[in-house]
Amino acid sequence: MVSLTDNKFDPNTDIPDLSGKIYVVTGGSAGIGFGIVAHLLQHNPEKIYLLSNKEVHAEEAQEELAKKWGDANKTARNLAKELTRLDGLVCNAGLGVGPYNESEDKLDTHMQVNVFAQAHIILTLLPVLQKTKDSRIVSQSSDLHRAAPSSTKFESVEEINTDIGATFLYNRTKLAQILFSHQLLKRIKAGRFGTVTDTEGLPWINSTHPGGIKTDQQFQAEEAYGTIGKIGVRAVRPLLGDPVDKGCRPALFATASPDIVTEQIQGSIYRT
């Protein structure tokens, strides 16, 4: 885990001109995703594509996000055919701490939305990312990956579909995201996705942790933990940071800072 505490990156002043650059951001219409998009837009990108159109609340979250990821996957396939370049893919959308539920595919919705759908979008857009010099793949993860159950092995559907509790369901997906990013980087370097040269083939792949930020995801905990969840959320939310001001900083650094290239930052996890 690499901290930005000593890093003076300020998204208001340190993002360079992005003229000609194209970005895809999932979950970019509210919360942290909105902050990411808002900051990028200030620096003249050619285009920003949003692969989800809103963040939903509590009891709607699991069903609605699962449906929207289906639309996002279709959009990603279309973009892969149309785009000649892609400078950054920011995978920000996802489910927070919430109760166990299964998708139409009979999979834990946390894993389907936070991991499998995200991996599918990354792999779908990977060819165009590989053709774009110094492109970025950024996965919005969490420090809570450290608190995934020690028994986690990711060996079977039966394991994935075991209800291990709302918090552990979330933590497990954050660990899976990071492991996927590490393995993707390893396989790209090994030539599994084509030849890697000095100018093509290897995007800069990093994960980020936004910190304790006020977003709609906290309301999903109310559904998972009932009255206790409501009390906890109401007590904690006033202490959390602003998503536009603070929460988007690590992802923006990984997405747009020239330091990623000059300092050769690859396979890292950045936090505030």
Domains defined for the chain, CATH in brackets: 2-271 (3.40.50.720)
Q: Which residue has the tokens 């039966």?
A: 158
pLDDT at position 135, please?
Answer: 98
pLDDT band (50, 70, 90) for residue 225 = very low
Using alpha carbons, list the distances in angstroms from residue 238 to 5, 99, 213, 233, 235: 22, 24, 10, 9, 7
Given a cut of 50, is residue 270 above it in pLDDT?
Answer: yes
Other Cβ atoms less than 10 A from the Cβ of 88: the count is 27
Given a cut of 50, is residue 95 above it in pLDDT?
Answer: yes
Cα 139 from Cα 207, distance rounded (Å): 5
Cα 19 from Cα 43, distance rounded (Å): 7
Given a cut of 60, is residue 218 above it in pLDDT?
Answer: no
pLDDT band (50, 70, 90) for residue 179 = very high
pLDDT at position 128, please?
Answer: 97
Cα 54 from Cα 95, distance rounded (Å): 13
Q: Which of 42-56, 97-111, 157-171, 241-255 has the highest mean pLDDT?
A: 157-171
Other Cβ atoms less than 10 A from the Cβ of 169: the count is 26
